[in-house]
Amino acid sequence: MTKDLVTIARGRRIEALTARSLLLCERHERPQRLETSVLEKLLRVLGL
DSSP characters over 12-27: HHHHHHHHHHHHHIII
pLDDT average, residue stretch 4-25: 79
**One-letter amino acid identity for 14?**
I
| pLDDT for residue 7 is more than 70 | yes
**For the chain, which residues make up each domain, given as ranges?**
1-48
Q: Over range 3-27, report the average pLDDT.
A: 78
**pTM greater than 0.85 (yes/no):** no
